[in-house]
Amino acid sequence: MSAAAVLHVTGARPNFPKAAPVIRALDRRGVRQSLVHTGQHYDERMSEVFFRQLGLPEPDINLGVGSGSHASQTAGVMTGLEELMTTARPAIAVVYGDVNSALAAALVAAKLGIPVAHVEAGLRSFDRSMPEEINRIVVDHVSDLLFATSPDAVAHLGNEGIAAEKIHLVGNPMIDTLLANLDRLDVARIRTALALPESYLVATLHRPGNVDDEADVIGLVKAMHAIADQLPVILPLHPRGRRHLEDAGLLSHRALRVVEPLGYLEFLSLVRGATAVVTDSGGVQEETTMLGVPCLTLRPNTERPVTITHGTNRLVTRAALADAVARAIAAGPPDTRRTPPLWDGAAGERIADVLGIVVH
């Protein structure tokens, strides 16, 4: 790989819509860039289709680390990136989100004396049982530039003693990608392709707190069956936890259907047409906020509270899910909604403005 001023490290499908607007904005400024895909998500539906649909360049390197424990996956990425960064010596490494690939890249770059920029810095759930929370904290504290998506994230970084001059409130580049693709979302087409009625629910579930423990899985399946009693449920199911859910009888309800993970455009078309979305994902909380779709998050906390204060998101328990869905169905889509500050489609440009100063 030839030397580049900016090295972007991506590894999982939530990274790709965050990276795309930053890469495009830097390209317009003539900045030399390289893109590494760690292969943390290795299924074609989990990664390569996103590159095609979002117009991302082919990765210069794919490390192909695949799945594994947190330790083995992080170690695999670190080993591959150490050799690459030692040779390429980029002016700055840009990491995205809270996945293991971001942690590995930030640690390698910091130890090699290469500046680190963290896109989506400062998010906190204050729940250290979440592996992602550990990743967020460590990445932020070794980063030299911290790009925050919301004012609460800026406050968290300040409270942790990170110097104000490192922190930049830029908005949300994932929302840049959503807004840029709104005209490509085709609700009627995905509804026809999946043989869905006009009213349906979408669910996405993969967090350890929902799909790892047998008792949690049984409770989750019961809750999913209760909402399927109200409306058909379509569930694009992440490989993580799928066997546990199916073994617990998830598919025994005739109105609940599991499909393979979808591409970016297909999934957001599905979400846009939904009556409500049930999720434990972080990014879906943000996307439903912008699309005005009621979102019920099956978690005790969220690192994205702006989706509650300025969006359509609510935290719910498994026991309360059926009643929450009934209320969402009765209320219908919100008449008005607030948009989080700077979620305006220009976050990638703001990030590129800062990075451009660093690399020139």
Could you tell me the end-to-end alpha-carbon distance of the chain, in angstroms, rounded to an integer?
21
> Which tokens belong to 23?
């890469």
How far is it, in rounded angstroms, from Cα 313 to Cα 18? Answer: 20
How far is it, in rounded angstroms, from Cα 19 to Cα 17? Answer: 6
Determine the Cα angle at 168 with ends 165 and 174, to 5°. Answer: 160
Long-range contacts of residues 304-307, Cβ cutoff 8 Å, at least 24 apart: 304/123, 304/150, 305/152, 306/149, 306/150, 306/151, 306/152, 306/340, 307/340
Strand pairing of 116-121 and 145-148?
Answer: parallel
How far is it, in rounded angstroms, from Cα 116 to Cα 258? Answer: 39
> Which tokens belong to 265?
């455009």
The residue behind tokens 């939530």 is: 14
Strand pairing of 33-37 and 92-96?
Answer: unpaired
Residue 302's DSSP bridge partners are none
Residue 315's DSSP bridge partners are 297
DSSP secondary structure, 54-66, as one string: HTPPPPSEE----
How far is it, in rounded angstroms, from Cα 128 to Cα 201? Answer: 30
Residue 34's DSSP bridge partners are 7
Determine which one of 168, 206, 225, 253 is catalytic: 206
* Cα torsion angle, 147, 150, 156, 158, sign: positive
Residue 202 φ then ψ, to 5°: -115, 140
- Read off the amino acid at residue 351: I
253 is catalytic: no
What are the residue numbers of the active site? 206
